[in-house]
Structure 1
Amino acid sequence: MAPLRTALLQGPRGVPDGADEALAALDDAAARAAARGAALLATGELFLSGYALGDRMAHAAEPADGPAARTVAAIAARHGVAVVYGCPERDGARVHNTARLVGPDGRTLAAYRKTHLFGAYERAVFTAGEHPVVQADLGGVRVGLLICYDVEFPEAVRAHALAGTELLVVPTALMRPYEFVAHTLVPARAYENGLYIAYVNRCGPEGEFDFAGLSCLAGPDGAVRARAGAGPELLVADVDLEVLRGARAETPYLADRRPELYRSLGPSG
């Protein structure tokens, strides 16, 4: 099977001037990704709204079938590229920090609501999701979704690995001074679970936050296939299942687990 060529859109700098600006940037990136042979384009956390909206986040949030979602679907279908994007999602009175996977025909394949909210700001603005593993098949690859802080919990990534995820896409808003997460923790998560992680960050200052960039595609063999710097960038690299199978055979962490020894951790251990 041919590798799944994957594009990672790092950026933008600052809060977009409404969803229309973000959608125009997404359309441009989808065209460039398609021209480079990518079948999947992934963006950062809350790409459509920006992260530092505070109380305005509720106003920016749309339902799952809102106008921004319909525009993303049209972008994906126009360029023939699947898209993972971050957005605030309204569900009644609740607002979720959501990542959505749209197929190359514009059809929604999966939607994940961030389960681990980071800090007082996110807990004040969002309601946490309750479904830790959300997946879909794309071009023969099992794609899973997490968001930013989620990937820092080993249980969350291991749950995906055990459920068969091969490419874990993680829209992110990693702030300074936590660059070690991108440099060290994410490649380690990919290696210890035998999967690819597309870690797609925002970059630059935004309100009180300063995002670190450093987006990467980390491989199941411990190698980083592509790494961004501190500014806006479009990375393209391949997800190769032959490499994944070889890595899992060489370092069989999943096969060698002994769950009966871990019960003492307990449900909250």
Structure 2
Amino acid sequence: MRRVLSQPHRSRYDTGMKIALAQMGMTRSIEDNLKTSLAMIADAADSHADMVVFPEIQFSPFFPQYPASSSPLDAGGYAMRLDDPAIEAIRKACADRRIMACPNAYLMEPDGRRIDATLVIGADGSLLGRQGMVHIAQAACFYEQDYYAPDDAIRVIATPFGTIGVCVCFDRHYPETIRTLALRGADLVVIPTANTSAEPEEMFLQEVRVQAFQNSVNIAMCNRVGVEGAMSFDGRSVIVGPDGKVLALAGEKPCLLTADIDLDAAKAMRNDKPYTSLRRPELYA
């Protein structure tokens, strides 16, 4: 597995964690995608990472590129419950390798709704929390309303390293999402995504950097790679510090992107530069 390693992020704070982004391509086989995911977990553990983050719907091809009425793919065949063998395998790998993971799946809720959701799994294999996509796109190649129900909450999740939040793909285009996570105490926001070469790559990078800076929060965005149907996923996964500086940036090929980040630095920066605490929400529409 090819690795792209960042330079260590050094700060005046003592605490931190090493995060890894599993930039990967997917096939139509859940088994193949799971095998790649497990290899990425092993590679991340061997790199001494504390957490590995995966792209959007990592167990399947990107089926939302097709309207449900004319899709050549059986999207329902990729829907998973929390006790699905693939998810159980990820949890076991986390426990075996003592590493946290944030896999993303086409998740079947107990009430039958299907959501685009990231799970946060602890280093003991326990489920610490989950977050689904809140804003559901409906545009060419992103017919997501045909498949996904919206999640009904924006949550933060406690981990041994600090509080994290998940912002699923399209949700990051709404500033309220990452701002809400930061206001609720998130020091790290992970973004599983499916960005293509047809989209404004430089704009997406700057969007993440600006939101990290404005909210004093670490952000890690993990993308897919490869050509699927009419879509070419261009990688460019990125890890950004709470000052908006890029800590690590991937290319267009499958890789494991790593960086050392400091969750306490996000808290300290909010005190030093009180952008969020000086808000005047009573004036906002």
Normalised by the size of structure 1, how large is the TM-score?
A: 0.91
Taking the aligned partners of 1:207 and 1:83, their CA distance within structure 2 comes to: 28
Taking the aligned partners of 2:98 and 2:188, their CA distance within structure 1 comes to: 19
User: Cα deviations across residues 209-246 of structure 1 (Å, max 9, x unaligned)?
Assistant: 12121111111101011101111111111121343234
In structure 1, the residue matched to 2:38 is 27
Taking the aligned partners of 1:3 and 1:86, their CA distance within structure 2 comes to: 24
Cα contact 1:102–1:109 (8 A) shared by 2: yes
Q: Following superposition of structure 1 onto structure 2, how do residues 31-42 of structure 1 map, counting pairs within 5 Å?
A: 31-42=42-53
Taking the aligned partners of 2:15 and 2:269, their CA distance within structure 1 comes to: 17
Q: Following superposition of structure 1 onto structure 2, how do residues 136-151 of structure 1 map, counting pairs within 5 Å?
A: 136-151=157-172
Deviation at 1:193, TM superposition (A): 0.5
Identify which of 173, 185, 189 aligns with 1:168: 189
Question: What is the one-letter code of the residue matched to 2:87?
Answer: A
Identify which of 242, 260, 272 aligns with 1:238: 260
Taking the aligned partners of 2:239 and 2:269, their CA distance within structure 1 comes to: 15
Identify which of structures 1 and 2 has the higher relative contact order when contacts are C-alpha pairs closer than 8 Å and 6+ apart.
Answer: 2
Taking the aligned partners of 1:257 and 1:169, their CA distance within structure 2 comes to: 24
In structure 1, the residue matched to 2:88 is 70
User: Cα deviations across residues 182-217 of structure 1 (Å, max 9, x unaligned)?
Assistant: 321011111111101110011221122121211111
User: Cα deviations across residues 129-150 of structure 1 (Å, max 9, x unaligned)?
Assistant: 111x222222231111111110
Secondary structure of 1:119's match? coil
Deviation at 1:178, TM superposition (A): 2.6
Specify every segment of 5 or more residues in structure 2 that has no aligned partner in the other structure, as ranges. 1-13, 65-70
Secondary structure of 1:149's match? helix
In structure 1, the residue matched to 2:27 is 16
Identity percentage of aligned residues: 29
Taking the aligned partners of 2:175 and 2:121, their CA distance within structure 1 comes to: 26
Q: Following superposition of structure 1 onto structure 2, how do residues 178-257 of structure 1 map, counting pairs within 5 Å?
A: 178-257=200-279
Taking the aligned partners of 2:201 and 2:95, their CA distance within structure 1 comes to: 35
How many residues align? The count is 260
Structure 1 residue ranges, 4+ long, deviating more than 4 angstroms after superposition: none
In structure 2, the residue matched to 1:261 is 283
Cα contact 1:80–1:105 (8 A) shared by 2: yes
Question: What is the one-letter code of the residue matched to 2:233?
Answer: F
Q: Following superposition of structure 1 onto structure 2, how do residues 20-169 of structure 1 map, counting pairs within 5 Å?
A: 20-52=31-63, 54=71, 55-91=73-109, 92-120=111-139, 121-131=143-153, 133-169=154-190
In structure 2, the residue matched to 1:7 is 20
User: Cα deviations across residues 93-116 of structure 1 (Å, max 9, x unaligned)?
Assistant: 422111111111111111111111
Cα contact 1:4–1:141 (8 A) shared by 2: no
